[in-house]
């Protein structure tokens, strides 16, 4: 679906966002009840797969957000018995958050990297790199965090993590991506931007959430400021000014004719 064809003045276009938030909330409540039973996770994954097959993904892939939430709960349970040096945990956290925040900010250097091959046969390569690079890096850090310790949290904090992650994903689509059609609607880059919220320390997750909200507002304001710049049409001389030039030419010609007759 092309984002340029989405009319946000229609309420129907907000249904995917409401559906995604509602499903993530329901999934979080179910996980709070059965999170200690690891055998329930394959059953929930199967239910999400059935829901994905039956649902019609519009605007963005909400099922990918739910899969990420389910995977994060499963991995965080496995991390309860993990142990690693504090330095390794700190470096991995900083690198992951830095990479994801780089995708959120999207400086000029990152944008130029993805548009190296704008024309020709390599245009598909540019589109694939937008999804492949974030997917590979994000998958690496998610797998690496399995071996890093995780401080036990209350259900309230766990649900807050998942809802913050879902809110960031939905907010990015409706605040930024819809207004930038060249972003595409791939889910890999979307999930890579906000996945650290599901795994890092709660304080860092809260700080990252606030920073992402600020950057999204900055992007949105910048997009609308660019779109609201008036384009000046070329100045057109008034009709009386256009008619004056031939009149002046005729008067000069008549004056030169009178001078010629006077000499004769």
Angle between helices 155-175 and 202-227 (to 10 degrees): 10
Domain ranges of the chain: 3-227
Judging by beta carbons within 10 Å of its beta carbon (0-12, 13-18, 19+), is residue 144 exposed, middle or buried?
A: middle
pLDDT given at position 250? 52
The Cα 201–Cα 208 span in angstroms is 10
Q: What are phi and psi of 228, to 5 degrees?
A: -90, 0
In angstroms, what CA-CA distances link 5 with 2, 9, 58, 171, 192? 6, 12, 12, 18, 26
Eight-state DSSP code of residue 14: G
pLDDT given at position 214? 95
What residues of the chain score a pLDDT lower than 70?
1-9, 57, 108-128, 181-186, 226-264
pLDDT digits (tens, 9 = 90+) for 85-129: 989 999 999 999 999 999 999 876 666 665 554 444 455 655 667
Angle between helices 123-144 and 86-105 (to 10 degrees): 150
> HEC string of 55-111?
CCCCCCCHHHHHHHHHHHHHHHHHHHHCCCCHHHHHHHHHHHHHHHHHHHHCCHHHH
Do you know the residue count of the chain? Answer: 264
pLDDT given at position 2? 44
CB atoms within 10 A of CB 10: 9
pLDDT given at position 260? 54
Q: Specify the 3-state DSSP secondary structure of 40.
A: helix
The Cα 260–Cα 253 span in angstroms is 11
Closest CA to 138 of 70, 82, 207, 193: 193
In angstroms, what CA-CA distances link 239 with 130, 236, 242? 53, 9, 5
Q: Return the structure tokens found at 199.
A: 């795994």
- Where does 146-245 show beta strands of DSSP type E? none
pLDDT given at position 111? 62
The Cα 197–Cα 190 span in angstroms is 13
């Amino acid at each position: 679906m092309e984002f340029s064809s989405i009319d946000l003045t229609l309420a129907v276009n907000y249904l995917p966002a409401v559906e995604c938030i509602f499903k993530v909330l329901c999934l979080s409540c179910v996980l709070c009840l059965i999170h200690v039973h690891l055998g329930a996770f394959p059953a929930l994954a199967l239910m999400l797969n059935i829901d994905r097959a039956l649902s019609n993904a519009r605007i963005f892939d909400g099922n990918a957000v739910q899969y990420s939430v389910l995977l994060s709960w499963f991995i965080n349970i496995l991390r309860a018995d993990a142990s690693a040096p504090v330095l390794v945990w700190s470096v991995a956290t900083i690198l992951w958050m830095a990479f994801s925040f780089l995708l959120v900010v999207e400086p000029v250097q990152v944008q130029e990297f993805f548009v190296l091959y704008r024309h020709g046969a390599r245009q598909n390569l540019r589109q694939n790199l937008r999804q492949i690079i974030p997917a590979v890096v994000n998958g690496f850090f998610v797998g690496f965090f399995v071996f890093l310790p995780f401080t036990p949290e209350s259900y309230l904090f766990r649900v807050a993590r998942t809802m913050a992650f879902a809110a960031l994903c939905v907010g990015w689509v409706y605040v930024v991506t819809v207004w930038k059609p060249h972003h595409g609607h791939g889910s890999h880059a979307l999930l890579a931007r906000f996945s650290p919220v599901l795994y890092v320390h709660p304080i860092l997750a809260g700080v990252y959430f606030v920073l992402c909200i600020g950057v999204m507002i900055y992007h949105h304001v910048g997009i609308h400021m660019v779109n609201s710049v008036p384009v000046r049409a070329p100045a057109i001389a008034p009709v009386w000014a256009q008619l004056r030039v031939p009149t002046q030419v005729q008067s000069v010609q008549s004056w030169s004719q009178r001078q010629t007759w006077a000499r004769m």
